Amino acid sequence: MMQIGDTEKAAELMLRYERNVPQSFEVQFRAQSDWRFWETAAFYFGGVGGGLYVVSQILQLQIGLIVGYVLVVVLKNGAHLLSASKPSRALRAFANPKSSWVSRGSYFLFLFTVFAALNIACQFELIEVGDVIEHSASILAFLSACLIMIYIGFVMGQSRAIPLWYTPTLPVMLLTYSLAMGGGAGFLHQLVIGIEQRFIFLGWWLLITDGLTLLLAVISVYMVSISSPAARISVQQLTKGKLGVLFVGGALIAGLLIPMILTGYGLIEKDFSSSLCFLVGILTLLGGFMFEFALLRAGVHNTAVNVDCGTVVRF
């Protein structure tokens, strides 16, 4: 119990009070701070894993199927569990598929876990099932991998107060970047196996998906930059400062543009050296992480109260 005149205690209480009271009660834009590293990691592993699985299924890359499966089922789910503050209740994520995209995503993950496992088991001839079941598992695993890549865009789009995320291009952009990352991971996979025909396919795959993503990113950033004030703050964050270096330098230039140039060179010369493949793969994968990270960090909530000219803007 505190005694009158106990100055040390009073000072401690004052410090405690100042730490706990929010810095400001002004109407202001609020930077999204709820989803951080583990959410980024979960979204990223879903993108790379789903992309690699799709590429591997098209190119019949058996190791790629397993790596893609592990990325999605172990790492993505693991990151989701680490991001939840009550992981023991995580099964409740299945409770609201009628309206929640996170819940729908949990079902997509479940479908992928089951059908991709069945598909891999069939590919490695671990089990004998009929042709119909084998083909159905293969198609359903492919579809659920695509859904895993795209649903994150809808999860982010459910937040209407964050204009950077509330765009129709976001789900498509996340899908194309995931497919590009799948192509990048495919290049790394091919370093080990090395079949010439597949390099050509992967080269075209990366060129198209990278090009589409770059185009969508430029269109999205431009569209957002001419909309609401919160959106303009997001664009400022994405194009300037540390986050700008990550998004423009890391995600767009190093992750998309340079791999496009390198693959274009490889396709023209019809020569995919190991160093070129390694560079393309690594740059695409690193760029993808920076892309997801920057998108999540640049999310800015509109003010809770309708804003007009002269409102204090503070983070």
Interacting residues toward another protein by CB under 8 A: 1-2, 12-13, 16-17, 20-22, 25-27, 30, 32, 34-35, 83-90, 92-96, 99-103, 106, 155, 158-162, 299, 301-302, 304-306, 308-312
- From the CB of 10, what's the least distance to another protein, in Å? 11
Nearer to another protein, 25 or 226 (CB): 25
Nearer to another protein, 1 or 192 (CB): 1
* Range 190-194 contact pairs with CB under 8 angstroms and sequence separation of 24 or more: 190/272, 190/277, 191/274, 191/277, 191/278, 191/281, 192/63, 193/61, 193/63
- From the CB of 302, what's the least distance to another protein, in Å? 7
Cβ neighbours for 227, distance < 8 A, ≥ 6 positions apart: 163
What residues form DSSP beta bridges with 31? 300
How wide is the angle at C-alpha 82 spanned by C-alphas 81 and 83, nearest 5°? 90
Question: Where do the H-state alpha helices sit in 124-195?
Answer: 131-157, 169-193
- From the CB of 312, what's the least distance to another protein, in Å? 6
Rg (CA), the chain: 23
- From the CB of 137, what's the least distance to another protein, in Å? 26
Nearer to another protein, 36 or 135 (CB): 36
Distance CA 79, CA 91 (A): 15
- From the CB of 109, what's the least distance to another protein, in Å? 12
Nearer to another protein, 66 or 90 (CB): 90
Nearer to another protein, 30 or 232 (CB): 30
